[in-house]
């Protein structure tokens, strides 16, 4: 039992204990990383799993030849597949949730919101899917909402693949070239938070601007 708990602890905090995992389990690390990326992007119940930091640190270990760079880049397959599964779950479940006749749920669900979300994704869904890759939690829910709002599947897949390519390649290669610099290793958490802020702030300002214009017209 203690061994199992230790293994689970390594999985949940693998971005901080990747070196220990490589020493103890060797090549199994690639399967675990694939599963983590898939679950974080494909299942809405796992938004807490590490993504950005895991890819970055993996790149740093590839630079020191403890991991294979090409195998890490293959993780983009997990990112694409995870989003695809999440999209189809949203496509299957989302509309049914909004069409429910359960009184308790009807108090909290707005059927008109689904149509508004659909319209938003048709206009801005592409960049939303790409930008969401860099925002923890949001990247877990974005494909689900895209499916629930019936975003065109072909359009979704195009930006899904594009977003996965940018996300995986950028973070892995940044880790590969800069991850072993002492300053970056020491302040990695701060750097990640700054990166998240850089992705979130423009989205928030854009939403605030549109809200202000809408109220002004009203």
At 110-133, the pLDDT tens digits run 556 555 656 667 676 788 888 888
Helix (H, G, I), strand (E, B) or coil at 175: helix
As a whole-number percent, the residues of the chain with pLDDT over 90 amount to: 9
Per residue in 187-216, pLDDT tens?
665 665 565 555 555 555 555 566 566 556
Lowest mean per-residue pLDDT among 63-72, 96-105, 130-139: 96-105
**Residue 66 per-residue DSSP state:** S
The pLDDT of residue 60 is above 70: yes
**Which pTM does this prediction carry?**
0.74
Task: For residue range 167-179, list pLDDT tens digits in order.
Answer: 889 888 888 888 6
Candidates 129, 117, 51, 36; CA nearest to 84 is: 129
Higher pLDDT, 79 or 211: 79
Distance CA 139, CA 6 (A): 28
Q: Where are the domains of the chain?
A: 2-181
Q: Helix, strand or coil for residue 133? A: coil
């Amino acid at each position: 039992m203690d061994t199992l708990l230790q293994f689970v602890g390594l999985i949940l905090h693998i971005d901080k204990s990747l070196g220990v995992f490589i020493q103890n389990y060797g090549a199994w690390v690639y399967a675990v990383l694939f599963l983590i990326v898939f679950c974080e992007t494909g299942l809405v119940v796992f938004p807490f799993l590490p993504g950005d930091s895991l890819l970055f640190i993996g790149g740093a270990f590839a630079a020191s030849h403890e991991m294979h760079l090409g195998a890490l880049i293959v993780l983009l397959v997990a990112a694409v597949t995870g989003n695809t599964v999440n999209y189809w779950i949203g496509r299957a479940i989302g509309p049914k949730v909004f069409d429910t006749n359960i009184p308790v749920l009807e108090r909290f669900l707005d059927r008109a919101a689904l149509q508004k979300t659909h319209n938003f994704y048709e206009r801005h869904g592409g960049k939303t899917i790409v930008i969401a890759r860099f925002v923890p939690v949001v990247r877990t829910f974005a494909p689900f909402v895209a499916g629930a709002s019936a975003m065109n599947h072909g359009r979704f897949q195009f930006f899904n693949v594009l977003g996965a390519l940018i996300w995986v390649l950028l973070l892995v290669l940044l880790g590969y070239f800069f991850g072993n610099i002492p300053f970056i290793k020491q302040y990695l958490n701060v750097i990640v938070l700054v990166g998240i802020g850089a992705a979130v702030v423009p989205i928030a300002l854009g939403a605030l601007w549109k809200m202000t214009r809408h109220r002004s017209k009203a």
